[in-house]
């Protein structure tokens, strides 16, 4: 993988992580779809799962505030 591709992937991971963090509240979000999309994105982007296997840990890619 070229450096350009690595940088692009890093930026995409960060953008997705920021999106994941900003999801809506419980009353207005589709939790089942969110879980399915999170799993798919995590797998495609090579994000590590939480140790308990409950999902993907996007927090490592959050941008600083």
**Listed residue (33, 32, 39, 30) closest to 58, CA to CA:** 39
Asked if the model's pLDDT at residue 63 lies above 70, the reply is yes
pTM of the model: 0.65
Q: Is 33 helix (H, G, I), strand (E, B) or coil?
A: helix
CA atoms in the 13 A half-sphere facing the CB of 24: 8
Q: What pLDDT, in 10s, does the model give residues 21-59?
A: 777 777 777 778 878 888 888 888 899 999 999 999 999
Q: Assess contact for 39 and 6: CB atoms under 8 A.
A: no
Given a cut of 80, whether residue 17 has pLDDT beyond it is: yes
Q: Tokens for 35, please give them.
A: 């879980």
Whole-angstrom distance, CA of residue 36 vs CA of residue 50: 16
pLDDT of residue 65: 65
**Maximum distance among all alpha carbons in the chain?**
43
Residue 16: the pLDDT is 87
């Amino acid at each position: 993988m070229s450096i350009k591709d690595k940088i692009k992937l890093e930026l995409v991971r960060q953008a997705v992580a920021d999106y994941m963090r900003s999801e809506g509240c419980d009353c207005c979000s589709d939790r089942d779809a969110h879980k399915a999309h999170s799993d798919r994105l995590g797998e495609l982007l090579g994000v590590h799962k939480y140790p308990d296997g409950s999902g993907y840990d996007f927090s490592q890619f959050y941008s600083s505030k």
